[in-house]
Amino acid sequence: MAWTQSSSIAPMDEPRPDIDAWAEAHGFTPSTDQIGGTTQLLDLGMIDTTDAAYRGEVDGHEAVLAEFSLGSPDWSEAFGGWGVDSTGFTVFLLFVDAARWERITVHPSRFSDHEWARRLLHSERRVHTTSAQMDERYRIVGSRHISAEQLAAAFTPELTAWWVAQEPDVLLDIEDHGEEGGFLTVARMGMGIGDDALTTLQGQAARLLAAFFPA
């Protein structure tokens, strides 16, 4: 699966701002967590690596802050290269009770390959909101058992207006793992995004936590 590179992605071979200082200042401590496979976004690559991870909290929920790389085959393999194209993400992974959602993903429509959506749509369905802008910019796929009322309560006009105003794109996954618990992933493309962007992403994670898991 090939991802379209964008200017928001920090090249993997260039120095990136260290997130240690931000993590320490916001109560996150270094962790050995490997987050690959926990939600759809984190299970898209043939090769994935958790490049850095920190444990902390977001609005009272245990969370992992991570820089995460997805690798997929590219054309260089045919010419003796490693054959893998990597894309980086900065991720807040929150531990939640996701049973009422089972699984839902909100990923940008501009991604060049929708293999993840095709795979999900065998057992799940495309979700549409009341916002034409939201539906054009993002592809939402959810479990078929989620009621229209539950979706409408989460994807309010206020939430979708907020979502389409965010730059760069904000990705969301919710996935229930049964007895193992559930996860909420809020992510943006790029690693080494800097302190201000980390603070923004933390706020976005809190905003989406409140929308999908209201107290």
* Strand intervals (E) in the chain: 29-30, 47-58, 61-73, 84-96, 103-108, 124-127, 138-143, 171-176, 182-189
Distance CA 208, CA 184 (A): 9
Mean pLDDT of 176-191: 92
- pTM surpassing 0.75? yes
DSSP state of 69: E
Amino acid letter for position 25: A
| Residue 181 domain-assigned (yes or no) | yes
| Residue 13 domain-assigned (yes or no) | no
Is the CB of residue 205 less than 8 Å from the CB of residue 96? no
**pLDDT value, residue 21:** 94
Burial 104-129 (b: 16+ CB within 10 A, else e): bbbbeeebeeeebbeebeeebeebeb
| Residue 81 domain-assigned (yes or no) | yes
pLDDT tens, position by position, 113-132: 455 555 555 667 889 999 99
Structure tokens at 108: 């940008």
| Residue 8 domain-assigned (yes or no) | no
Domain count, the chain: 1
Examine the pLDDT at 215 and tell me if it is beyond 90. Answer: no
Structure tokens at 13: 């071979």
**pLDDT value, residue 10:** 36
Distance CA 108, CA 112 (A): 10
| Residue 14 domain-assigned (yes or no) | no
Domain of residue 37: give its range: 20-212
- pLDDT mean across residues, the chain: 82
**pLDDT value, residue 122:** 61
Q: CA 95, 64, 39 angle in degrees (round to 5)?
A: 60
Distance CA 175, CA 104 (A): 7
Q: Which of 15-19, 60-64, 143-147 has the lowest mean pLDDT?
A: 15-19
pLDDT tens, position by position, 24-40: 999 999 999 988 888 87
